[in-house]
Amino acid sequence: KIKRITAADIAARKGGEPIVALTAYDAPTAEILDQHCDVLLVGDSLGMVVHGLPSTVGVTLEMMILHGQAVMRGAQKAMVVIDMPFGSYEESPEQAFANASRIMKETGAQAIKIESGAYAAETVSFLVQRGIPVMGHIGLRPQAVNVAGGFRAKGRSTQECADVLEEAEATAKAGAFAIVVEGVAEDLANQITAAVSVPTIGIGASSSCDGQILVTQDMLGLFDWTPKFVKRYGDLKSVIDKAAGDYAAEVRSRSFPAEGQVYSLKPKLVGDTA
Ligand code: KIV
Ligand code: NA
């Protein structure tokens, strides 16, 4: 049996070999990514990239659990972290504990992630003290899209920089084992990484972060539009487009299925006496 990477292993990577993280939403993809990644995040971005929602606000606990179960079946080695969706943890530490423990029981995953604005420090420490490893998430917080008025990178003013640094420090002090730093100016990401004692995992941040994460569907090139910080490492959209087009043409010309794809059995028909 392969030993799975733990929250303590990830925490120990501060300032060391960069942590490799990607999102995963289904079992076969998780099995492939497991060969390359330290952390697989079942992120609530699945609402947008799998379910076609306009933001992550509509994602439910049930969706996170269902995809979390699939990823846990596919990945043996990587640490699996599951996002708590909007509305499942903000009300109180008690609400967060009830829903986080449910996610862990029903999926077998070892940790959850919350978007940890400075207000969330109390919840982070409540969960960690009670046995739930927490990954924080600061900077551009997609669940706050309706307050922010859009998905905008942070670090445009001295006040904004101070606020984001405060979110990071509060999250780390509260006991998070790692912090996702999303959509912040490079200098600010560097400053946060130097200031906190736990690993920072950057997305639209800086190569000096202690690790990096991208949304897998974005980096595989499934979409025409992606945020500036995404680098496309594949061209999945054109691969799928070509395969579906070739299939459609062959069905229409009756060249699929061909000899190799049909069963040439000679059935004995019921009542056949020959
Ligand atoms: O939901 C998600 O994909 C995330 C990553 C972008 C960090 O939270
Ligand atoms: Na997320």
50 plus 111 within the same structural domain: yes
Mean pLDDT (whole number) for 172-197:
98
Which pLDDT band holds residue 274 (cuts at 50, 70, 90)?
low
pLDDT value at position 1? 82
User: Domain check: are 257 and 211 in the same one?
Assistant: no
33 CA distance to ligand 2 middle (Å): 18
Shared domain for 153 and 171, answered yes or no, is yes
Joined together, the tokens standing for residue 87 give 């509305």
Residues 51 and 70 in one domain: yes
Total structural domains in the chain?
2
99 phi and psi, to 5 degrees? -75, -35
d(C-alpha 238, C-alpha 240), whole Å? 5
Q: Which ligand ends up closest to the CA of 45?
A: 1
pLDDT at 272: 65
Protein residues whose CB sits closer than 6 Å to any atom of ligand 1:
23, 41, 43-45, 83, 137, 180, 182, 203, 213, 215
- What's the pLDDT band for 79 if we cut at 50, 70, 90? very high
Q: Active-site residue among 182, 186, 250, 259? A: 182
- Res 268 pLDDT > 90: no
Residue 269 lies in a domain: no
Looking at the structure, tell me whether residues 48 and 141 fall in a common domain.
Answer: yes
For residues 70 and 37, state if they share a domain: yes
Task: Note if the pTM is more than 0.90.
Answer: yes
- Which one-letter DSSP state was computed for residue 125? H
Q: What is the mean pLDDT of residues 147-167?
A: 94
**Do 200 and 256 belong to one domain?**
no
H-type alpha helices, 174-273: 186-195, 216-219, 236-252
Q: Are residues 125 and 61 in the same domain?
A: yes
* Domain shared by 136 and 247, yes or no: no
Q: What was the pLDDT predicted at 271?
A: 74
> Whole domain around residue 242: which residue ranges?
237-262
> Residue 198: is its pLDDT beyond 60?
yes
Query: Has residue 268 been placed in a domain?
Result: no
How many H-runs (helices) and E-runs (strands) does the chain carry? 11, 8
Q: Could you tell me if 134 and 219 lie in one domain?
A: yes
pLDDT at residue 273 in the model: 63
What does the pLDDT read at residue 269?
73
